[in-house]
């Protein structure tokens, strides 16, 4: 506890020092927050990749100070912009306010005009001829050598995570490219992207729990959408044959690093099609996305190597359960299914139906085994009440055609 208190005191002292520096800057007429525009000519990556053509030429760059080494009348520092990191060389003979530069903190954002050169160690750098403080950082960055490692803090403070772990930016860029590729693929197939209401007067989305809010003008409670399904189906009824929506959904349930109550989902509908067409379409989407992002179908996820090259395995839930547990629900009555579940360590609630037992076995024993892309078909109606009911399955015990 004493160590923690000392850390808090240190942080409070840092905050005070930085605010005092800001106060001095403002009093001297150098308020770093006054101007919002700064005309860059190049990014860090453009300078680094085009050294041959830029050698000796003037460039204007800007970014956040990550490190600084003061050496008497000169200094080296690294700044990070939206694409990468580049080194600056700052010398007192070139910069009239060099003494002010020495007071800048790690995390401050600066703009620099200078010429491109290589240091004796061969590092491409910018020799500063003019330098300006664009924004003062009042909070310190995560500790230099250890960075931001706490997963909870990284998820809650993404902006700090992006500063401390620049490689995370690539994940955001890839996500954006994936969404763009999905839209492009569907648009080429004449699907129409639509926007449906986020606020609903009824709960849609099967058994998922909604977020509840209040509409002041109408004085009624409303629900954040769980799924756009009902509205998209109405568009099909209205005459559109191919529609989709890619947007935010909300489910007021559990939360983990793999399950967020607020998430992005795509849902699409096509008239005169069945789920076989939808599976074909899904494989097409994956192919289009992967081709646009470089064509590598083999993805490393943890310790697993996943092959995303279609076609993907297609299994009914009954067949998947049989394959991985040996239980053939097709031949089991409700009473027999309950006994079989308990035998393999799955304990359904007493009032659970045949379909719910099938799903529980799949959820607890099968899903974790599905490493490679696999379509699971024919869910029990109890866990997918909005789906079209399938014709009775041959051989299923009487009264149990709940797929």
The residue among 288, 308, 328 that closes a domain is 308
Q: What is the pLDDT of residue 398?
A: 54
Number of H helices, E strands in the chain: 12, 15
**Average pLDDT, rounded, for the chain:** 88
Residues 302 and 351 in one domain: no
Question: Looking at the structure, do residues 293 and 364 belong to the same domain, yes or no?
Answer: no
Q: CATH number of the domain at 41, please.
A: 2.40.50.140
Residue 154 covered by a domain? no
Residue 266 near residue 182, CB atoms below 8 Å: yes
Tokens encoding 333:
């009555």
- pLDDT, tens only, 93-112: 999 888 889 889 999 999 99
Q: Are residues 207 and 258 in the same domain?
A: yes
Which two tokens mark 399?
A: 């009264």
Distance of alpha carbon 54 from alpha carbon 374, whole angstroms: 51
Residue 396 lies in a domain: yes
From 308, 325, 344, the end of a domain falls on: 308
Residues whose CB is less than 8 angstroms from the CB of residue 28 and which lie 6 or more positions away in sequence, other chains included: none
Q: Are residues 293 and 182 in the same domain?
A: yes
pLDDT digits (tens, 9 = 90+) for 270-329: 999 999 999 999 999 999 999 999 889 999 988 999 999 999 999 999 999 999 999 989
Q: Are residues 49 and 99 in the same domain?
A: yes
Q: How many CB atoms lie within 10 A of CB 20?
A: 10
pTM exceeds cut of 0.95: no
Rounded-to-integer distance, Cα 20 and Cα 22, Å: 5
Q: Which helix (H) or strand (E) element contains residue 109?
A: strand 109-118
Query: For residue 182, what pLDDT band results from cuts at 50, 70 and 90?
Result: very high
Query: What pLDDT was estimated at residue 384?
Result: 82
Strands 85-91 vs 124-135: parallel, antiparallel or unpaired: parallel
Sheet holding 199-200, edge to edge: 199-200, 220-224, 212-215
The top-scoring range by mean pLDDT among 157-161, 227-231, 382-386 is: 227-231
Angle formed at CA 366 by CA 266 and CA 397, multiple of 5 degrees: 100
Asked if residue 21 is part of any domain, the answer here is: no
Q: Are 208 and 256 in contact (CB under 8 A)?
A: no
The pLDDT of residue 399: 47
Same domain for 287 and 201: yes
Q: Which of 282, 308, 334 is the last residue of a domain?
A: 308
Among candidate residues 172, 229, 235, 175, the one with its CA nearest the CA of residue 200: 229
Same domain, 331 and 363: yes
The reply to whether 159 falls in a domain is no
Residue 233 reports pLDDT greater than 70: yes
Q: Residue 362's pLDDT is what?
A: 96
**Is residue 311 helix, strand or coil?**
coil
Alpha helices in 189-316 (DSSP H): 229-237, 275-292
pLDDT at 148: 66
Residues 98 and 201 occupy one common structural domain: no
Of residues 158 and 206, more confidently modeled: 158
In a domain, 181, yes or no: yes
Whether the pLDDT of residue 402 is over 70: the answer is no
Joined together, the tokens standing for residue 18 give 């930085």
**Confidence band for 147, pLDDT divided at 50, 70 and 90:** low
pLDDT, one tens digit per residue, over 358-369 is 999 999 999 999
In this structure, the answer to whether residues 300 and 345 fall within a common structural domain is no
Look up residue 256 and give its DSSP letter: B
The radius of gyration of the chain from alpha carbons, rounded to an integer in Å, stands at 29
Place of tokens 């600066």: 110
Q: What angle do CA 12, 17, 19 make, to 5 degrees?
A: 95
Q: Which residue has the higher pLDDT, 238 or 141?
A: 238
Range of the domain at 256: 167-308
pLDDT in tens, 73-95: 999 999 999 889 999 999 999 99
Domain shared by 95 and 63, yes or no: yes
pLDDT category at 401 given cuts 50, 70, 90 is very low
Return the percentage of the chain with pLDDT > 90, whole number. Answer: 62
Task: Say which residues have a Cβ less than 8 Å from residue 166's Cβ, sequence separation at least 6.
Answer: 80, 84, 85
Q: Domain count for the chain, please give it.
A: 3
Identify whether residues 293 and 403 lie together within a single domain.
Answer: no
Q: Tell me, yes or no, whether 178 and 282 share the same domain.
A: yes
């Amino acid at each position: 506890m004493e160590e923690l208190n000392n850390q808090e005191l240190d942080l409070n002292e840092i905050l005070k020092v930085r605010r005092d520096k800001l106060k001095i800057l403002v009093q001297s007429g150098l308020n770093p927050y006054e101007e919002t525009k700064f005309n860059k000519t190049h990014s860090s990556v453009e300078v680094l990749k085009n050294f041959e053509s830029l050698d000796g030429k003037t460039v204007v760059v800007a970014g956040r100070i990550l490190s600084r080494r003061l050496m008497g009348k000169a200094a080296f520092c690294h700044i990070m912009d939206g694409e990468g990191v580049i080194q600056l060389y700052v010398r007192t003979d070139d910069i009239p306010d060099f003494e002010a530069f020495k007071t800048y903190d790690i995390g401050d954002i600066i703009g620099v005009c200078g010429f491109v050169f290589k240091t004796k160690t061969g590092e491409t750098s910018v020799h500063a001829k003019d330098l300006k403080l664009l924004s003062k950082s009042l909070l310190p960055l995560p500790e230099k050598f250890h960075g931001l490692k706490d997963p909870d803090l990284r998820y809650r403070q993404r902006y700090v995570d992006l500063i401390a772990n620049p490689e995370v930016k690539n994940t955001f860029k890839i996500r954006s490219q994936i969404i763009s590729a999905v839209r492009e693929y569907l648009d080429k197939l004449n699907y129409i992207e639509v926007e449906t209401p986020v606020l609903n007067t009824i709960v849609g989305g099967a058994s998922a729990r909604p977020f509840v809010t209040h509409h002041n003008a109408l004085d009624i409670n409303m629900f954040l959408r769980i799924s756009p399904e009902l509205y998209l189906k109405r568009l099909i009824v209205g005459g559109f044959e191919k529609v989709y929506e890619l947007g935010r959904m909300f489910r007021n349930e559990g939360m983990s690093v793999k399950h967020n109550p607020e998430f992005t989902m795509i849902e699409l509908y096509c008239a005169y099609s069945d789920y076989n067409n939808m599976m074909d379409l899904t494989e097409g989407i994956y192919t289009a996305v992967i081709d646009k992002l470089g064509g590598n179908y083999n993805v490393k996820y943890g310790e697993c190597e996943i092959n995303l090259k279609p076609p993907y395995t297609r299994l009914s839930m009954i067949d998947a359960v049989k394959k991985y547990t040996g239980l053939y629900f097709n031949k089991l009555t409700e009473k027999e299914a309950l006994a079989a579940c308990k035998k393999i360590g799955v304990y359904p609630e007493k009032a659970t139906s045949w379909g719910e037992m099938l799903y529980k076995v799949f959820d607890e024993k099968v899903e974790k085994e599905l490493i490679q892309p696999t379509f699971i078909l024919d869910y029990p109606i109890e866990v997918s009440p909005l789906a079209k009911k399938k014709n009775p399955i041959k051989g299923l015990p009487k009264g149990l055609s709940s797929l």
